[in-house]
Amino acid sequence: QMQLVESGGGLVQTGGSLTLACAASGRTSWWSFSTYAIGWFRQAPGQAREFVAAVDWSGNNVYYSDSVKGRFTISRDNAKNTANLQMNSLLPEDTATYFCAANSVAVGQTDYTKPTDYTYWGQGTQVTVAS
């Protein structure tokens, strides 16, 4: 089983930046990080979990929600079993708990935006953007 741990959340002013990190651990003999797409989702109180960004297994293809496109950048390092979400020009509406997740659905069978396509989830890290 893969464990995912997010870090890097915090309180920032509008227009500021944060970088979230997602680290995978567990019995690496049972899985290979590089075979999973990694997605970032967020959830504000009383709201549904929302797709933010995803990167495919290779790191060569990335996907963003319209609300973060041009401001956020997702990346991964398969050698280190990590993925990052660089967030710039943060807005109060970006305030939420951010989750990383691992998706093993075959390429072409997922559009990376559905939480149900993701098998493993982290516990989340809080991002608060003050106005």
Longest dimension (CA), the chain: 46
Enumerate residues 6+ apart whose C-beta is below 8 A from 83: 21, 22, 38, 40, 55, 74, 75, 76, 77, 100
Instruction: Answer yes or no: are the C-beta atoms of 35 and 56 closer than 8 Å.
Output: no
Residue-level pLDDT at 1: 85
What pLDDT does residue 110 have?
A: 84
CA gap 91, 23 in Å, rounded: 25
How does pLDDT run along the chain (131 residues), one tens digit per residue? 899 999 999 999 999 999 999 999 987 667 788 889 999 999 999 999 999 999 999 999 999 999 999 999 999 999 999 999 999 999 999 999 999 999 988 778 888 999 999 999 999 999 999 99
